[in-house]
């Protein structure tokens, strides 16, 4: 399961979710009335933190050990863990590399307008928006017209020292088409529904809504994983925009909704959705996009390397190494791609794998709720929901993964022979899987292993690998040419070229296995059918309760899900459908005036989750299907708060609001929660609001946390300054 570790659902609340005193336009007629509200917003966002090279390029995980007279600078790998990180990061760095420190990441003008047309017992509500962002109509920070720009391009996207490849999904210097087309400008019809009441025989009325609408169920306020985020799809991109409005966060779907009072203290609600929509992620290549292959315009995942075919052809073809070709390879692997034409041509971009989307059905999403109004003023609710997942999972068919089993088998063994368990391939190879695009190099093998999460011990060194290989000659028998066995056996004496020799061994071994098991190395990898899938028919049961304690509103929501897709930690790694329990507890209070504020509201929420029967990931237990992948943990806790300090009439007609927001992953991680162990998002600023409907905001957003977690570091260098002005009428 792809983790949506977008900044939690309300990351930018503290910067922009201060409600304006809208000056609505109202029109009264004999038979109907119209209330019309419009907000115009201009926003600017500036990156205030420089790129973290580990995030933009990947960690080299290597140390220069000297200069060889024939091969230039040579590196010795310190650990295998950075290779795993790099395989992930190389498919997650487009948005980061497009902007440098002090670059404007958003220059956006938007208009949000809504109208409520009422005909007595019936009416029609409509809301829509248009926007334009001039940043994405230009070019990225990488300018190939300069030497520095060409060097940056090669360093970010084609340097094998960083696991580089051709995965940057746009022409050099341009934004990804998804970011350029969607983020640059657009329009969207949001809510558009009829509403009304129908008299019932018992002197009550049934409320009805039909059309594009949001179903507002549940008590969760600041965290994901609740009823509302399961039923509705959200715009995970808008919350990163300066001056966004909370009305834009939850996106409507075509649905029918009814509310029927059963007694004076019990009511029933039900809905049926006529369409399915996925979560709206930031466009591929946009500033806050975390996955180059996910989001509008993102349909590629890079398995291929940036190495020139002619270099490999001299030593890979027929697995008959040519000394001159091998020398070129050993020189190429550990060194940078240069800016001059002769070297940069060796880093040409190979076609990345195009991901196919397996979208969910428009049918089969519905819910039923019962609300209870108690005599003491408390409220309770019971819910039954059937929904389709809005967040995609990465899926590679089991037979396709088995085709790679010999490669995985080999590399897992040499990295960790103590816990090695051999994968069995069927006799006669694999039928029906005959398409593979390019001969696998070490870049491709590590990319595949890294993405599937076949982690090796962090202290595993190159020398350990060599010792494992040379001490188990039966593993090599008939697998690779004797010349490469000799290279490995004499690796100690070859000094700094040893890492490159191991890379060569892995590349040849991978190529041999793929040929052996029925792959035609001259055809396309896309037949592997590696794809994004949205799982269907997730059943959810929920309960809510709200009360008032000591002047504070306290509420809780607990949900139990069946068939929740979570990535497993075994090999082959495929999503498995699990049970999932989420428990939200929150409080909302209005604080008395004090010397710190004239008016203040405080909201806090704790989310806890539990996956029954699941075990945490363990890199030394890769054949246990009960273990979750590193993206999720069986248990976890997250905490968020939003605190607003308001000062009234500081200047004539002007109020000032100081918002504080924090999102903290206390323990564990879960893809749909917005929390990850140790990750913190913090935001603050100031909003100046005039009685006339004019508003100006200035805020800062910062992210920090566990730098050892590759899933956390993807956006930890995206600190930003946000400025916006609004006018409501």
pLDDT in tens, 170-188: 344 567 666 677 777 888 9
**Interacting residues of 382 by C-beta distance below 8 A, sequence separation 6+:** 369, 370, 372, 542, 543
CA distance 35 to 63: 66
Taking Cα atoms as reference points, which of 697, 701, 693 lies closest to residue 728? 693
Taking Cα atoms as reference points, which of 483, 457, 455, 478 lies closest to residue 468? 457
Range 342-363 average pLDDT = 55
Q: Strand, helix or coil at 467? A: helix
pLDDT of 431 > 80? The answer is no
pLDDT of residue 381: 97
Residue 95: enclosing H or E segment and its boundaries?
helix 94-97
Q: How far is CA 528 from CA 24, 432, 570, 640, in A?
A: 56, 10, 20, 41
Taking Cα atoms as reference points, which of 62, 87, 5 lies closest to residue 456? 87
Asked whether the beta carbons of 38 and 23 are under 8 A apart, the reply is: no
pLDDT of residue 190: 94
CA distance 352 to 452: 17
Q: Name the phi and psi angles at 492, rounded to 5.
A: -60, -40
- Which one is predicted more confidently, 416 or 583? 583
pLDDT of 216 > 70? The answer is yes
- Which one is predicted more confidently, 310 or 254? 254
- Which one is predicted more confidently, 284 or 199? 199
Range 646-668 average pLDDT = 92
Q: Name the phi and psi angles at 415, rounded to 5.
A: -85, -35
**Interacting residues of 18 by C-beta distance below 8 A, sequence separation 6+:** 644, 657, 659, 687, 689, 695, 697
Range 560-575 average pLDDT = 76
Residue 393: enclosing H or E segment and its boundaries?
strand 393-395
Percent of the chain with pLDDT over 90: 34
pLDDT of 452 > 60? The answer is no
Query: Of the spans 27-41, 477-491, 558-572, which averages the highest pLDDT?
Result: 27-41
pLDDT of residue 394: 73
**Interacting residues of 677 by C-beta distance below 8 A, sequence separation 6+:** 633, 636, 665, 666, 667, 668, 669, 706, 709
Range 556-573 average pLDDT = 81
Overall pTM surpassing 0.85 (yes/no)? no
Residue 194: enclosing H or E segment and its boundaries?
strand 185-199
Range 454-474 average pLDDT = 47
Burial of residue 264 (CB within 10 Å: 0-12, 13-18, 19+) is exposed
Taking Cα atoms as reference points, which of 709, 643, 641, 710 lies closest to residue 681? 641
pLDDT in tens, 219-246: 998 888 899 999 999 888 888 888 888 8
pLDDT in tens, 263-298: 999 999 999 999 999 988 888 778 888 777 677 766
Range 555-565 average pLDDT = 95
pLDDT in tens, 691-722: 888 999 999 999 887 766 656 566 778 899 99
pLDDT of 36 > 90? The answer is yes
Taking Cα atoms as reference points, which of 580, 562, 566 lies closest to residue 628? 566
pLDDT of 400 > 90? The answer is no
**Interacting residues of 225 by C-beta distance below 8 A, sequence separation 6+:** 559, 582, 584, 607, 609, 670, 672, 673, 674
pLDDT of residue 280: 86
Tokens of 139: 């070019």
Burial of residue 324 (CB within 10 Å: 0-12, 13-18, 19+) is exposed
pLDDT of residue 536: 94
Give the chain's domains with CATH numbers: 13-31+62-299+356-394+531-728 (2.40.160), 307-348+397-528 (no CATH)
Range 446-475 average pLDDT = 44
Cis ω before 572 (30° cut-off from 0): yes
- Exposure on the CB side of residue 393, measured as CA atoms within 13 A: 23
Taking Cα atoms as reference points, which of 64, 711, 58, 84 lies closest to residue 416? 84
pLDDT of residue 304: 32
- Which one is predicted more confidently, 478 or 186? 186
pLDDT in tens, 497-513: 444 444 444 444 444 44
Tokens of 492: 């100690």
pLDDT of 427 > 50? The answer is no
Taking Cα atoms as reference points, which of 19, 20, 106 lies closest to residue 642? 19
Asked whether the beta carbons of 726 and 701 are under 8 A apart, the reply is: no
Asked whether the beta carbons of 584 and 226 are under 8 A apart, the reply is: yes
CA distance 450 to 447: 5
Beta bridge partners of 663: 640, 681
Side-by-side strand order, sheet with 393-395: 356-358, 531-533, 393-395
Confidence of residue 138 (pLDDT cuts 50, 70, 90): confident
Q: Strand, helix or coil at 505? A: helix
pLDDT of 30 > 90? The answer is no
Q: Strand, helix or coil at 120? A: coil
**Interacting residues of 38 by C-beta distance below 8 A, sequence separation 6+:** 25, 111, 112, 113, 114, 728, 729
pLDDT in tens, 87-127: 556 667 777 878 888 999 999 999 999 999 999 889 999 99
Asked whether the beta carbons of 531 and 510 are under 8 A apart, the reply is: no
Q: What string of DSSP letters covers 195-220? A: EEEEE-TTS-EEEEEEEEE----S--
Indicate the Cα dihedral angle 567, 570, 572, 578, nearest 10°.
-40
Asked whether the beta carbons of 169 and 157 are under 8 A apart, the reply is: no
Range 566-578 average pLDDT = 70
Q: CA-based angle 571:577:579, to the nearest 5?
A: 125
Confidence of residue 559 (pLDDT cuts 50, 70, 90): very high
Mean pLDDT, all residues of the chain:
70
Taking Cα atoms as reference points, which of 254, 273, 256, 232 lies closest to residue 366? 273
Asked whether the beta carbons of 16 and 245 are under 8 A apart, the reply is: yes
Asked whether the beta carbons of 183 and 133 are under 8 A apart, the reply is: yes
pLDDT of residue 464: 52
Taking Cα atoms as reference points, which of 302, 304, 328 lies closest to residue 314? 328
pLDDT of residue 699: 92
pLDDT of residue 193: 97
Tokens of 95: 């948005």
- How many separate helices (H) and strands (E) can be counted in the chain? 19, 30
pLDDT in tens, 240-266: 888 888 888 899 999 999 999 999 999
Taking Cα atoms as reference points, which of 660, 641, 657 lies closest to residue 649? 657
pLDDT of 614 > 80? The answer is yes
Any idea which of 321-335, 387-401, 518-532, 585-599 has the lowest mean pLDDT?
A: 321-335
- Which one is predicted more confidently, 264 or 313? 264
């Amino acid at each position: 399961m792809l983790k949506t570790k977008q900044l939690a659902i309300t990351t930018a609340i503290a910067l922009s979710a201060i409600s304006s005193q809208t000056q609505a336009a109202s029109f009264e007629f004999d038979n109907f009335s119209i209330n019309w509200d419009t907000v115009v917003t201009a926003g600017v966002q500036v990156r205030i933190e420089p790129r973290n090279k580990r995030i933009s390029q990947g960690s080299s995980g290597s140390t220069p050990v000297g200069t060889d007279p024939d091969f230039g600078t040579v590196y010795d790998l310190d650990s295998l863990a950075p290779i795993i990180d790099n395989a992930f990061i190389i498919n997650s760095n487009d948005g980061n590399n497009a902007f440098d420190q002090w670059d404007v990441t958003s220059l956006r003008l938007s208009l949000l307008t809504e109208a409520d047309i009422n005909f007595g017992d019936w009416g029609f509500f409509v809301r829509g928006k248009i926007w334009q962002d001039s940043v994405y109509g230009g070019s990225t920070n990488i300018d190939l017209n300069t030497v520095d720009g060409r060097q940056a391009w090669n360093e970010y996207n084609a340097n094998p020292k960083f696991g580089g490849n051709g995965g940057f999904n746009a022409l050099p210097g341009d934004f990804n088409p998804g970011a350029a087309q969607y983020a640059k400008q657009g329009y969207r019809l949001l809510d558009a529904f009829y509403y009304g009441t129908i008299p019932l025989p018992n002197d009550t009325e049934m409320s009805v809504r039909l059309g594009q609408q949001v179903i507002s169920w549940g008590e969760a306020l600041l965290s994901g994983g609740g009823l509302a985020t399961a039923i509705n799809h959200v715009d995970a991109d808008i919350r990163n925009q300066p001056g966004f409005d909370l009305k834009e966060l939850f996106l409507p779907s075509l649905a029918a909704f009814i509310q029927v009072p059963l007694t004076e203290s019990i009511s029933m609600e039900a809905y049926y959705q006529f369409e399915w929509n996925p979560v709206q992620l930031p466009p591929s290549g946009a500033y806050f996009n975390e996955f180059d292959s996910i989001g509008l315009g993102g349909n590629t995942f890079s398995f291929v390397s940036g190495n020139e075919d002619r270099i490999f052809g001299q030593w890979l073809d027929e697995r008959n190494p040519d000394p001159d070709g091998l020398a070129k390879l050993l020189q190429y692997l550990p060194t940078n791609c240069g800016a001059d034409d002769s070297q940069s041509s060796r880093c040409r971009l190979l076609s990345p794998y195009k991901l196919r989307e397996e979208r969910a059905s428009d049918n089969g999403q519905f819910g039923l709720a019962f609300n209870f109004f108690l005599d003491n003023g408390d409220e309770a609710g019971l819910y039954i929901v059937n929904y389709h997942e809005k967040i995609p999972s990465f899926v590679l068919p089991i037979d396709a993964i088995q085709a790679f089993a010999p490669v995985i088998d080999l590399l897992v063994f040499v990295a960790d022979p103590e816990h090695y368990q051999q994968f069995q391939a069927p006799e006669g190879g694999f039928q029906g899987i005959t398409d593979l695009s390019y001969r696998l190099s070490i870049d491709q093998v590590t990319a595949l292993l890294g993405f599937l999460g076949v982690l090796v011990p962090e202290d595993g060194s190159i020398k350990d690998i060599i010792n494992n290989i040379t001490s188990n000659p039966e593993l090599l028998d008939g697998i690779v040419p004797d010349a490469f066995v000799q290279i490995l056996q004499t690796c100690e004496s070859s000094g700094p070229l040893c890492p490159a020799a191991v890379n060569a061994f892995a590349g040849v071994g991978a190529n041999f296995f793929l040929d052996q098991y029925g792959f035609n190395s001259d055809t396309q990898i896309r037949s592997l059918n590696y794809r994004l899938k949205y799982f269907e028919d997730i059943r959810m049961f929920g309960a809510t309760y709200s009360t008032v304690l000591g002047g504070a509103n306290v509420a809780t929501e607990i949900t139990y899900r069946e068939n929740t897709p979570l990535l497993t930690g075994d090999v082959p790694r495929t999503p498995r459908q699990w049970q999932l329990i989420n428990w939200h507890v929150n409080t909302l209070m209005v604080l008395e005036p004090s010397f710190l504020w004239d008016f203040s509201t405080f909201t806090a929420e704790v989310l806890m989750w539990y996956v029954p029967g699941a075990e945490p990931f363990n890199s030394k237990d890769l054949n246990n299907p009960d273990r979750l992948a590193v993206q999720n943990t069986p248990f976890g806790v997250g905490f968020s708060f939003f605190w607003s300090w308001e000062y009234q009439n500081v200047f004539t007609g002007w109020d000032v609001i100081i918002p504080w927001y924090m999102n903290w992953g206390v323990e564990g991680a879960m893809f749909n929660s917005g929390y990850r162990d140790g990750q913190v998002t913090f935001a603050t600023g100031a909003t100046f609001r005039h009685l006339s409907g004019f508003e100006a905001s200035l805020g800062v957003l910062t992210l920090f946390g566990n730098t050892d977690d590759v899933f956390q570091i993807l956006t930890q260098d995206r600190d930003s300054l946000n400025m916006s002005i609004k006018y409501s009428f």
